[in-house]
């Protein structure tokens, strides 16, 4: 038997997806200066959105959101961001919703860990392609790892420890 979501639930999910997309765009617009580079916090919203949303919604909020953030503020890597954060979001969402269903925190932790690897490898390869230098990509590798780790930890904490998952479930009718 197929079940359909109510118009209210669809509207709520659309608004939540748009909210996460807006947050991803906003957090893509600036970075925290660290020695030798910047640390961007858009990965926090990418991880949180991907744990909560279905794969299509996660792709829209994260992949398209980071694409638009780059388009508006730094267009060179926008297609890399679309692909990397889009794939990262889909994988986190799929694993979070389908692996270890009886232990959702553990399932999402596995998905987030895989997503962090996708982000680090994807951006490293993307930097080699965009800037045509292996050395530049390797020089930026520690920042990619730090950004992935910060996003993974903070995004997971926000979802599981600050009541966002409970609020999301209440708003969308998930129990």
Reply yes or no on whether the pLDDT at 2 is more than 60.
Answer: no
**Least confident among 2-11, 34-43, 50-59, 84-93:** 2-11
CATH topology of domain 7-172: Arp2/3 complex 21 kDa subunit ARPC3 (1.10.1760)
**3-class secondary structure, 3:** coil
**Domains of the chain: which residue ranges?**
7-172
Sign of the torsion formed by the C-alpha atoms of 115, 14, 4 and 173: positive
Largest alpha-carbon pair distance within the chain? 56
Residue of 29 and 20 predicted with greater confidence: 20
* Helix, strand, coil percent content, the chain, rounded in steps of 5: 80, 5, 15
Token pair for residue 147? 């950004």
Is 62:46 a contact under the CB 8 Å cutoff?
Answer: yes
47-91 pLDDT per residue, tens:
999 999 999 999 999 999 999 999 998 898 999 999 999 999 999
Token pair for residue 72? 């508006």
**3-class secondary structure, 39:** strand
101-129 pLDDT per residue, tens:
899 999 999 999 999 999 999 999 998 98
Token pair for residue 137? 């990509």
Q: What pLDDT score does 175 carry?
A: 63
Calculate the alpha carbon distances from 139 to 24, 44, 115, 135 in Å.
25, 23, 21, 6
Q: What is the pTM of this model?
A: 0.93
For the chain, give the mean pLDDT. Answer: 92
Reply yes or no on whether the pLDDT at 99 is more than 50.
Answer: yes
**3-class secondary structure, 174:** coil
Between CA 113 and CA 96 the distance in angstroms is 11
Reply yes or no on whether the pLDDT at 137 is more than 50.
Answer: yes
Between CA 175 and CA 173 the distance in angstroms is 6
Between CA 158 and CA 160 the distance in angstroms is 6
Q: What pLDDT score does 3 carry?
A: 61
Reply yes or no on whether the pLDDT at 173 is more than 80.
Answer: yes
Q: What pLDDT score does 127 carry?
A: 87
Give the CA-trace dihedral at 143, 144, 150, 151, to 10 degrees. Answer: 150
């Amino acid at each position: 038997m197929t079940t359909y979501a109510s118009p209210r639930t669809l509207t709520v999910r659309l608004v939540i997806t748009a909210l996460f997309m807006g947050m991803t765009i906003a957090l893509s617009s600036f970075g925290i200066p660290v020695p030798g580079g910047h640390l961007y916090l858009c990965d926090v919203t990418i991880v949180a959105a991907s744990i909560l949303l279905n794969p299509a919604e996660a792709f829209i909020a994260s992949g398209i959101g980071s694409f638009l953030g780059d388009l508006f503020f730094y267009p060179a890597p926008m297609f890399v961001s679309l692909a990397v954060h889009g794939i990262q979001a889909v994988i986190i969402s799929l694993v979070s919703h389908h692996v270890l269903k009886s232990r959702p925190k553990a399932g999402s932790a596995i998905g987030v860990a895989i997503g962090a690897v996708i982000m680090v490898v994807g951006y490293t390869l993307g930097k080699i392609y965009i800037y045509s230098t292996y050395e530049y990509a390797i020089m930026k590798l520690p920042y990619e790892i730090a950004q992935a780790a910060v996003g993974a930890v903070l995004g997971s904490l926000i979802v599981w420890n600050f009541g966002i998952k409970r609020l999301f479930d209440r708003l969308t009718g998930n129990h």
